[in-house]
Amino acid sequence: MDLSIGELSRRAEVKIPTIRYYEQIGLLPETGRTEGKQRRYGRRAVARLAFIRHARELGFEVDAIRTLLSLQDDPDQSCARADEIAKARLVEVEKRIASLKALRRELRKMVEECACGRVGECRVIETLADRTHAHGKLAAS
């Protein structure tokens, strides 16, 4: 096989600097090099990198992915740990959805009530300025 980093990037759909970054943080093993020190990859690298990409898209943290990768490398292990990681992520996602929905309610109210006249009467500004407003951690992103 012997793919260049650019080839690998295209096949796994992960940007080149990201690949180098993954190597740096130990998510990808160091790979062979040409005499001129350019990286060359085998077929397995594509699968491993795509695995990582998919896991990142699902929002798993790098540390979790490290664990998932090490599980993958050893197919006779119990998959309880993998299940646990996935479940924890699911719980996180559910919490985030709930908080974004609360957010959406509030934003909708703001936008709907805005008569779009002067700022002095604007519900958007008023709502933000309303200090009595309940506030738990609503949401990031």
Partner DNA sequence: TCTTGAACCTCTAGCCACTAGAGATCCTAC
Partner DNA sequence: GTAGGATCTCTAGTGGCTAGAGGTTCAAGA
Dihedral sign, Cα of residue 125, residue 131, residue 134, residue 139: positive
Neighbours of 75 (CB within 10 A): 7
Q: How far is the CB of 88 from its own copies (least distance, A)?
A: 10
Which residues from 122-141 bind DNA, rule CB under 7 A? none
**The one segment of 18-26, 92-100, 103-111, 120-128 that binds DNA by CB under 7 A:** 18-26
Query: Alpha-carbon distance 19 to 124, whole Å?
Result: 43
- As beta bridge partners, residue 33 has 39
Q: Which is nearer to DNA, 103 or 121 (CB)?
A: 103
* 3-class DSSP state of 4: coil
Binding mask 33-72 for DNA (x = CB under 7 A): xxxxxxx----------------x----xxx---------
Q: What is the DSSP letter of 117?
A: S
Rounded to whole angstroms, the Cα distance separating 112 from 5 reads 50
Rounded Cα gap, residues 41 and 79, in angstroms: 28
16 vs 122 by CB, closer to its own copies: 122
Min dist CB 37 to DNA, Å, is: 5
Sites of contact with its own copies (CB under 8 A): 13, 46-47, 50-51, 53-55, 57-59, 68, 71-72, 74-80, 82-83, 85-87, 89-90, 93-94, 96-97, 100-101, 103-104, 106-108, 110-111, 114, 116-122, 124-125, 127-131, 133, 135, 137-141
